[in-house]
Structure 1
Amino acid sequence: MNASVIPEGYRTDSKGRLVPESSIKPIDLVRDVLVVDLIAEAKEAQERLKKLKALAFSEIASFIDLSLKQYEVHIGGNKGNITLYSFDGKYKIVRQIQDTIRFDERLQAAKILIDECIQLWSVDSNDHLKALILDAFQVDKEGKISTGRVLGLRRHDINDPKWLQAMEAIAESINIVDSKRYVRFYERDSEGKYQAISLDFANV
Structure 2
Amino acid sequence: MQNATLEEKSAEGIVVISGRQFMTNSKGGLDPIDAVKPQHKLQDQTVRKCIAFALDLSAQIGRFRGHTVADLGALDAILAEKYEVKIGGPKGNRTYQTYDGLMRVQVQVSDLISFGPELQIAKSLIDECLIEWSADSRPEIQSVVTRAFNTDREGQVNKADIFMLLNLEIQDDRWKRAMEAIRDAIRITGSKEYVRFYHRKSVQDDWMAITIDMAKA
Q: Give the TM-score category using the shorter length.
A: 0.5 to 0.7
> What is the root-mean-square deviation in Å for CA atoms of aligned residues?
3.8
Distance in 1 of aligned mates of 2:113 and 2:33: 54
Give 1:98 shift: 0.7
Check conservation: 1:103, 1:173, Cα contact below 8 A. Answer: yes
- Taking the aligned partners of 2:77 and 2:145, their CA distance within structure 1 comes to 41
Contact 2:24 2:30 in 1 (8 A): yes
Question: Which consecutive unaligned segments of at least 5 residues does structure 2 have?
Answer: 1-9, 120-143, 150-158, 168-182
Q: Is the CA contact (8 Å cut-off) linking 2:79 and 2:85 kept in structure 1?
A: no
AA in 2 matched with 1:20 = P
8 Å contact 1:139–1:146 — kept in the other structure?
Answer: no
Match of 2:78 in 1: 66
Q: Partner amino acid for 2:201?
A: D
1:196 aligns with 2:212: no
1:17 CA displacement? 2.5
Deviations 1:81-123 (CA, angstroms, capped at 9, x unpaired): 101001111100001111123465799xxxxxxxxxxxxxxxx
Structure of greater relative contact order (alpha carbons < 8 Å, 6+ residues apart):
1
Give the aligned length. 152
Partner of 1:51: 63
Deviation track 1:9-52 (CA, whole Å, cap 9, x = no partner) reads: 11111232211001123333232212101111011101111111
CA distance in 1, matches of 2:99, 2:146: 45
| Kept after mapping to 2: 8 A contact 1:189/1:195 | no
Contact residue 79 and residue 86 of structure 2 kept, 8 A = no
Q: Aligned pair in 2 of structure 1 residues 106, 61: CA closer, same or farther (>3 Å)?
A: farther
Report the equivalent of 1:123.
none
What is the TM-score with the length of structure 1 in the denominator?
Answer: 0.59
* Aligned equivalents of 2:42, 2:111: Cα separation in 1: 46
- SS in structure 2 opposite 1:146? helix
CA distance in 2, matches of 1:25, 1:106: 57
Cα deviation for residue 71 of structure 1 reads: 4.4
% identical aligned pairs = 32
1:187 is displaced (CA, Å) by: 0.7
Gaps of 5+ in 1: 108-137, 151-169
Alignment match, 1:11: 23
Distance in 2 between the 1:54 and 1:16 partners? 37
Deviation per CA, 1:33-76, whole angstroms, max 9, x where unpaired?
1210111101110111111112111211221121111344789x
TM-score, length-scaled by structure 2: 0.56
Distance, in Å, in 2 between the alignment partners of 1:197 and 1:79 is 24
- Which among 99, 107, 121 is matched to residue 95 of structure 1? 107
